[in-house]
Amino acid sequence: MFRRDLLQDKVVVITGGGTGLGRAIGERYLELGAKLAIASRREEVLARAAQEMTAQGGEVFYKSCDVREEKQIADLFDAVFAHYGKVDILVNNAAGNFISPTERLSAHAVDAVLKIVLHGTFYTTLELGKRWITSGQGGVMLNIVTTYAASGAGSGFVVPSAAAKAGVLSLTRSLAVEWAKYGIRQVAIAPGMFPTEGAWSRLVPSDEIAERLMHRVPLRRVGNKSELANLAAFLVSDEAGYINGEVVTIDGGEWLQGAGEFNELIDLSAHDWDQLSAMTRKK
* Shortest separation between residue 17's beta carbon and ligand NDP, angstroms: 7
Q: Is residue 63 near ligand TC6 by the rule CB under 6 A?
A: no
Q: Is residue 120 near ligand NDP by the rule CB under 6 A?
A: yes
Q: Which range touches ligand NDP (CB under 6 A), out of 99-107, 171-179, 188-196, 269-277?
A: 188-196
- Helix orientation angle between 159-178 and 120-135, rounded to the nearest 10 degrees: 10
Identify the bridge partners of residue 63 per DSSP, sorted by sequence position: 39
x-or-dash pattern for ligand NDP, window 73-102, by CB under 6 A?
--------------------xxxxx-----
Alpha helices by DSSP H, listed for 32-158, are 43-53, 70-84, 107-114, 120-135, 147-150
Residue 18, H or E segment:
none
Q: Is residue 167 near ligand NDP by the rule CB under 6 A?
A: no
> Which residues from 161-200 bind ligand TC6, rule CB under 6 A?
161, 193, 198-199
Annotated active-site positions, please? 148
* Nearest residue (beta carbon) to ligand TC6: 96
Other C-beta atoms within 10 Å of 117: how many? 29
Q: Is residue 40 near ligand NDP by the rule CB under 6 A?
A: yes
Q: Is residue 146 near ligand NDP by the rule CB under 6 A?
A: yes
Taking CA 14 as the corner, what is the angle to CA 10 and CA 17, rounded to the nearest 5 degrees? 125
Q: Cα–Cα distance between 139 and 132 in angstroms, integer?
A: 8
Q: Tell me which of ligand TC6, ligand NDP, none is bound by residue 45, counting a contact when its beta carbon lies within the kind-specific cut-off of 5 to 8 angstroms.
A: ligand NDP
Kindly tell me the sign of the dihedral angle through the C-alpha atoms of 82, 66, 178, 173: positive
* Shortest separation between residue 216's beta carbon and ligand NDP, angstroms: 13
Which of the 8 DSSP states describes residue 152? S
Q: Which of 233, 227, 188, 236 is nearest to 2 (CA)?
A: 233
x-or-dash pattern for ligand TC6, window 149-168, by CB under 6 A?
------------x-------
Residue 215 identity: H
Footprint of ligand NDP (CB under 6 A): 15-16, 18-22, 40-42, 45, 65-68, 93-97, 116, 120, 144, 146, 191, 193-194, 196, 198-199
